[in-house]
């Protein structure tokens, strides 16, 4: 039995933000054959439910790892296996101390996403994830819940300018990852996709060497590293290709299906 972990954006989904029929069929066949398919994404849980349904998780089981490892849910039963959040006081401190930076904030809350003002990144999340969004004007001063993560968003060249500040100031008390060129995420300390994948393998009783992980972005790095077989998509960033055990075709060429048909599905 293999544990097959798939990232969503840029990996499972093609450029049209869809799962191709070939990739869908290959993953469903893997479930039918007794392998465990899991979704490991930076997305909120609510934004991958429809994907799990497409992959027939209600029939074959499957776990959802969201917020880059911050939360793990059993799709079939609805059981939340683990959920990690930032300390509320730390979240307030980060939000207050970054108020004057030219960066937008995006914060998942339950099944929707909030920011302190309307901005293009909030619109992007709404359109991409198909979830509700809300601008909460006094969010930075009055946040009243412990978030799974805080996302800082801007155009790549602006974001890069402030990464050293975020890393130096909060790196000792949080986990941080650049999930897209426009996003930098701050999460609870010790969290990563890789750590969640090890937690999932223990849950299923599957040996680490039998983990296969597919990814394309920098937030997939730990997942690719801990897997017995780390598979980089053909469209992956160079660092992911460098550390992967295998480079498959791109997300627009059914890279997941190509690998599974060659090595897993008889």
- Do residues 92 and 47 both lie within one domain? no
- Do residues 178 and 98 both lie within one domain? yes
pLDDT tens digits for range 108-160: 998 899 999 999 999 999 999 989 999 999 999 999 999 999 999 999 999 99
Q: Which pTM was predicted? A: 0.90
pLDDT of residue 266: 77
Greatest alpha-carbon pair distance for the chain in Å reads 56
Q: Contact 244/228 with Cβ under 8 angstroms? A: no
Residues of the chain with pLDDT under 70: none
CATH number at residue 25: 3.40.50.1000
Residue 245 DSSP SS3: coil
pLDDT of residue 255: 98
pLDDT tens digits for range 59-71: 998 999 999 999 9
- Do residues 93 and 179 both lie within one domain? yes
CATH number at residue 114: 3.30.1240.10
- Do residues 79 and 196 both lie within one domain? yes
Q: Is the dihedral of CA 201, 203, 206, 212 positive or negative?
A: negative
The span from the CA of 96 to the CA of 225, in Å, is: 35
Helix axes 255-263, 21-32, angle to 10 degrees: 40
- Do residues 63 and 123 both lie within one domain? no
- Do residues 182 and 96 both lie within one domain? yes
Print the domain residue range for 201.
Answer: 3-83+191-264
- Do residues 58 and 111 both lie within one domain? no
Last residue of a domain, one of 151, 172, 187: 187
Spell out the residues 6+ positions from residue 254 whose beta carbon is closer than 8 angstroms to its own.
Answer: 20, 22, 23, 26
- Do residues 183 and 103 both lie within one domain? yes
- Do residues 198 and 183 both lie within one domain? no
Output the DSSP codes for 166-188.
HHHHHTTTEEEEEEETTEEEEEE
Strands (E), 18-102: 36-40, 63-66, 71-74, 80-83
The span from the CA of 6 to the CA of 79, in Å, is: 20
Give how many domains the chain has, as a whole number: 2
Strands (E), 58-173: 63-66, 71-74, 80-83, 104-109, 112-115, 132-135, 150-153
- Do residues 96 and 217 both lie within one domain? no
Last residue of a domain, one of 187, 218, 249: 187
- Do residues 121 and 197 both lie within one domain? no
- Do residues 198 and 72 both lie within one domain? yes
Q: Contact 125/161 with Cβ under 8 angstroms? A: no
Last residue of a domain, one of 167, 187, 207: 187
């Amino acid at each position: 039995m293999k544990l097959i972990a798939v990232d969503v954006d840029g990996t499972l989904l093609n450029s049209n933000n869809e799962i191709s029929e070939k990739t869908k069929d290959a993953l469903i066949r893997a479930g039918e054959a007794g392998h465990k398919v899991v979704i490991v994404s930076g997305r909120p849980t609510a934004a991958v439910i429809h994907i799990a349904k497409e992959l027939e998780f209600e029939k074959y089981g499957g776990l959802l790892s969201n917020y880059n490892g911050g939360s793990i849910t059993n799709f079939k039963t609805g059981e939340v296996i683990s959920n990690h959040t930032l300390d509320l006081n730390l979240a307030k401190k980060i939000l207050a101390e970054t108020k004057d930076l030219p960066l937008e904030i995006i914060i998942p809350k339950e099944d929707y996403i909030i920011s302190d003002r309307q901005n293009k990144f909030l619109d992007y999340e709404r359109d991409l994830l198909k979830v509700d969004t809300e601008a909460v004007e006094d969010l930075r001063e009055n946040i009243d819940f412990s978030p799974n993560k805080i996302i800082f968003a801007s155009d790549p060249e602006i974001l890069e300018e402030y990464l050293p500040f975020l890393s130096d100031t909060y790196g000792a008390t949080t986990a941080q990852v650049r999930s897209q060129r426009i996003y930098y995420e701050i999460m609870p300390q010790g969290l990563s996709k890789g750590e969640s994948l090890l937690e999932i393998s223990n849950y299923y009783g599957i040996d680490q060497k039998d983990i296969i992980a597919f990814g394309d972005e920098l937030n997939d790095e730990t997942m690719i590293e801990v897997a017995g077989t780390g598979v980089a998509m053909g469209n992956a960033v160079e660092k992911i290709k460098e550390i992967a055990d295998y480079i498959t075709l791109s997300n627009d060429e059914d890279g997941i299906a190509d690998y599974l048909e060659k090595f897993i599905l008889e």
